[in-house]
Structure 1
């Protein structure tokens, strides 16, 4: 017998949002970890709003704001406007953010303005640090063996915005100021700058074309490939090694004094001054030897050890974070401008990657115990 196509809503419902989310849903362990990290950030949130207090209407709770920002990364939502639309009708999103069925959703412009406060006070970086600390407490980090690498991030700016700094549209080669054509012009970061994103730099690497870019850098712990440090710099030929120096210095400072810290990397880091800097920090350089028409800066005595071979295998795990961030996350081409905002977006993406990775790892631990 054919059923009738009837839609009749009940006048009241007694179900909660919690009832609509399956007990085994993949967001449950992530939300649990995020809530634990946010609880540790309470003093930071209090300082943020105490400094900026000017009266008026209450702003968006920073905990809800950060959960919403994580959702945008985890579910590849392109814009704040689309995120607000999803939260409006998606019960899973409402539950994760911490809104009830009756709570109104924020206007996109209000959400964006409140996000500026989060970035300004480095709350995203603190959230990343809390998640890393949580991974360490759950024995997911070695704290001794690391890998480093960088990836190109396409800026939210086009070639036609790359104009002479002096305002002369000719560029010395007869080009036009409207940027309609730059063929035949000689352009460089010394003489030109993007009018839409002044922090972006024209850069190419390997066989890639020159584009306005940033470079994202990560330091991964070799035990499970979790990201222990992340940052963005302007794109240039020295940025990767300079960022690596800063990140491994932080790792050495956090490690036990008795620990022997190692750092794995690809051939691009095989430079005498970089290897020497690692040795001054008492870090073993497990860097892939670059011996094409040159002598490697990495001593053969180190390259022939078993630990070196293990580091060379483990260092490839760092690529998973970059791949996830560009396929699922928003870092293939960021839709924000300025070094500070791009850095916050990159760190948030690596935070989301760590959460998904930790969910899997901790799930495996529970299965083994069962």
Structure 2
């Protein structure tokens, strides 16, 4: 982990001459996914120890959470303190988890960067900017993403980095019934490249669809952001290796 071997391995695979020709240097997509932590929800206790069970010798004793207000500000997991209680959408149950991120090139759907952060509402956008900062080139590119990235400050940050935002418009209605103001302007939407990026970006779900069930990343058996991140990045490299033989077999 100290040598960042997983990240170096991912970059080395992509740097091979035959592979490098497959990778787009102009068009990319980004997305995030939740990774369930190796920690029980019963381990999510108050940081001040106010809900400890001194009368119970059973470390796996039953606990009732009904009407108990829990948040990451006041509680943390005793099994994995870096895991965060989070849910990605309305109607979904909150779980102790991390958030995995992937940056994909749009030509053949190969992953060019990735990593793991704590799960927060801003983590996807912050991780996207961090991955863009690690790019060796500063030439203008396009970045496709889903509606979770349709935030004014994020779009502004992209433009400052010479990145054209091909982001899905968040059309949710506000409480008064008005459509949410989007950060994507008409100049971007009417460009043919925007429609192409919107089509290509959905392939990033294939990445998560493989590494979760096939590589066992849906619920990791590791604890701590560094360990989970190393395993996640290594699995991203494995996804590329699984796909490359078929891509390399196609005549240029």
TM-score (norm 1): 0.62
User: In structure 2, do the counterparts of structure 1 residues 242 and 250 end up closer, same or farther at CA, with 3 Å as the change threshold?
Assistant: same
Q: Is the 8 A contact 1:157 1:196 kept in 2?
A: yes
SS across alignment from 2:197: helix
CA distance in 2, matches of 1:133, 1:246: 20
Structure 2 residue aligned with 1:199: 82
Structure 1 residue aligned with 2:209: 323
CA distance in 2, matches of 1:135, 1:153: 33
Q: Deviation at 1:153?
A: 0.4
Counterpart selection for 1:307 from 168, 187, 193: 193
Equivalence map 1:100-179=2 (5 Å): 119-134=1-16, 137-169=19-51
Structure 2 residue aligned with 1:332: 218
Counterpart selection for 2:156 from 276, 280, 285: 276
TM superposition outliers: structure 1 runs of 4+ over 3 Å: 135-138
- Kindly provide the CA deviation profile for residues 272-313 of structure 1, in whole angstroms up to 9, marking residues without a partner as x: 000000111111011111233122101111111011111001
Identify the structure with bigger relative contact order (alpha carbons < 8 Å, sequence gap 6+).
2
Query: Tell me, which stretches of 5 or more residues in structure 1 are unaligned?
Result: 1-118, 172-176
CA distance in 2, matches of 1:307, 1:124: 33
Q: Is the 8 A contact 1:334 1:342 kept in 2?
A: yes
Q: Is the 8 A contact 2:18 2:248 kept in 1?
A: no
CA distance in 2, matches of 1:148, 1:135: 24
Equivalence map 1:1-370=2 (5 Å): 119-134=1-16, 137-169=19-51, 180-206=63-89, 207-251=91-135, 254-255=136-137, 259-292=139-172, 293-365=179-251
Q: Is the 8 A contact 2:14 2:20 kept in 1?
A: no
User: In structure 2, do the counterparts of structure 1 residues 291 and 181 end up closer, same or farther at CA, with 3 Å as the change threshold?
Assistant: closer
SS across alignment from 1:197: coil
SS across alignment from 1:163: strand
Q: Is the 8 A contact 1:331 1:346 kept in 2?
A: yes
Decide which structure has the larger Cα Rg and report it.
1
Q: Is the 8 A contact 2:45 2:51 kept in 1?
A: yes
User: Comparing both structures, which one devotes a greater share of its residues to strand?
Assistant: 2
User: Comparing both structures, which one devotes a greater share of its residues to helix?
Assistant: 1
Q: Is the 8 A contact 1:135 1:358 kept in 2?
A: no
Q: Deviation at 1:170?
A: 6.2
SS across alignment from 2:193: helix
Q: Deviation at 1:137?
A: 5.0
**Paired positions, count:** 240
Q: Deviation at 1:132?
A: 2.0
SS across alignment from 1:141: coil
TM-score (norm 2): 0.90
Q: Is the 8 A contact 1:163 1:179 kept in 2?
A: no
Q: Deviation at 1:120?
A: 3.1
Q: Is the 8 A contact 1:161 1:179 kept in 2?
A: no
Q: Is the 8 A contact 2:86 2:97 kept in 1?
A: yes
